[in-house]
Chain A
Amino acid sequence: MRLRRTKLYLPGNNPNMLLRGHLFNPDGVILDLEDAVAMSEKDAARILVRDVLKKSDFGDCEVTVRINGMDTDLWKVDIETVVPCGIDGIRIPKVEDPKDIVLMDEALSQIESKAKIPVGRTLIFCLLETALGVWRAFDIARASKRVAAICPGGEDLRADLKTTRSENSEELIGPRRMIVLAAHAAGVDALDTVYADITDDAGLRRETEWVKQLGFQGKSVIHPNQISIIHDVFTPTAREVEQAQKIVEAAAEAAARGLGAVQVDGKMVDKPVVKRAEYTLQRAGMKAGGEKR
């Protein structure tokens, strides 16, 4: 299971951030060729991102590139430029149609094949930033084996829903729930949108705890200072890990003895609790498994 607690956006035309972003230890970085880059700078950003991808060592970070939308004439040259660099995945904005994911899958396969990269290596992360995209979340998540996660939009989605940002983002409750449901039904990760107020640590923690409770596996990040708070929320505590180990060990022992029932600390434990304990250990990096990619 790949941890995706935090994915830090790095503006594609900003050398300082592109070269230093991973040093803040997010689980992943998103080199952004879309909204963070002015239209007049798309060409220069693409060259810079390509060279950073070729020459930089991102350590254990999952490296993805947010390309320009498939409703523009930029996305093809974006993927032709960055995919041969051997990135982990691309993030596609404003996905609305599963057919676009099929088209992208084919385009990626061609590029990978030409660049002698294992076909299928480049994962797809789908940003669902419109009502239609959220409505079709399950079909989009199942449109290609490459899809690793689906993610709700923030401001774009609010605009499409003809609403505005409220203090507790109540307007996004429905879309977030739909995306969690679709993601887990499809066997991919649900990754939440950014928390825009980079000065409000308490608000970030509150929102992160809430989306974790909904079933998200992580959040996108726009400032390095947000990383430690989100990691803290998504990382199991020592006590949770200890209890999970007890449950998993008891379940394994019971299975070895041919017993169906499991007892931990004198209490009967059923299968869903064992499954949750296994997931806790996966999140703590102590057990393989989890979502398919």
Chain B
Amino acid sequence: MKTAQAGTLESMDCIVTVTETEKGRGISISMEGASIVRFGEAMLKATKDTLKSLGVRDISVSIQDNGAGDLVLKARVEAAVRRLAEVKAA
């Protein structure tokens, strides 16, 4: 399975790792970090919205968070997905 990553563990950032999955397996998202308890739902929604806007239906996403807000999380998800597309195309 091919994988790509974007982001850092600096303050207000996160590392998003995306892994390709078989067609039809859907989207699976795992998260870790201190903010998950309070903002987990919002982060889940932000990630799903970004994947939807990018037309991604089957993917596994792992998020290591260090205080990234929606804006940063979405940017990192997009960067990781675009990198995965490049890896797959290579």
| Interface size, chain A (Cβ < 8 Å) | 14
A228 to chain B, nearest CB (A): 23
Which residue of B is nearest A46, CB measured? Answer: B79
Q: Which residues of A contact B75 (CB under 8 A)?
A: 44, 47-48, 50-52
The answer to whether A15 and B72 touch across the interface, beta carbons within 8 angstroms, is: yes
Counting CB contacts under 8 A, is B78 at the interface? yes
Given A48-B72, A51-B71, A55-B71, residue A15 in contact with residue B79 (CB < 8 A): no
Which residue of A is nearest B68, CB measured? Answer: A15
The answer to whether A43 and B79 touch across the interface, beta carbons within 8 angstroms, is: yes
Q: Which residues of A contact B69 (CB under 8 A)?
A: 19
| Interface members, chain A 1-58 (any B CB < 8 Å) | 13-16, 19, 43-44, 47-48, 50-52, 55-56
Q: At the interface, is chain A mostly helix, strand, loop or mixed?
A: helix
A15–B68 Cα distance when bound, in Å, is 8
Q: Which residues of B contact A13 (CB under 8 A)?
A: 8
Counting CB contacts under 8 A, is B58 at the interface? no
The answer to whether B12 and A44 touch across the interface, beta carbons within 8 angstroms, is: no
A44–B80 Cα distance when bound, in Å, is 8
| Interface members, chain B 40-90 (any A CB < 8 Å) | 68-69, 71-72, 74-76, 78-79, 82-83
Q: Which residues of B contact A14 (CB under 8 A)?
A: 10, 13
Interface magnitude class on chain B:
10 to 19
The answer to whether A43 and B83 touch across the interface, beta carbons within 8 angstroms, is: yes
Counting CB contacts under 8 A, is B18 at the interface? no
The answer to whether B13 and A16 touch across the interface, beta carbons within 8 angstroms, is: yes
Given A16-B11, A16-B13, A19-B12, residue A51 in contact with residue B74 (CB < 8 A): yes
Q: Which of A14, A15, A48 has the most CB of B within 10 A?
A: A15
A74 to chain B, nearest CB (A): 15
Of B13, B78, B82, which is within 8 A of A15 by CB? B13
The answer to whether A15 and B12 touch across the interface, beta carbons within 8 angstroms, is: yes
Given A15-B68, A48-B75, A51-B74, residue A43 in contact with residue B82 (CB < 8 A): yes
A204–B13 Cα distance when bound, in Å, is 32
Annotate A45-81 by CB proximity to B: 1 below 8 A, 0 otherwise. 0011011100110000000000000000000000000
The answer to whether A52 and B12 touch across the interface, beta carbons within 8 angstroms, is: no
A197 to chain B, nearest CB (A): 24
A13–B75 Cα distance when bound, in Å, is 11
Identify the B interface with A (CB < 8 A).
Answer: 6-8, 10-13, 68-69, 71-72, 74-76, 78-79, 82-83
Identify the A interface with B (CB < 8 A).
Answer: 13-16, 19, 43-44, 47-48, 50-52, 55-56
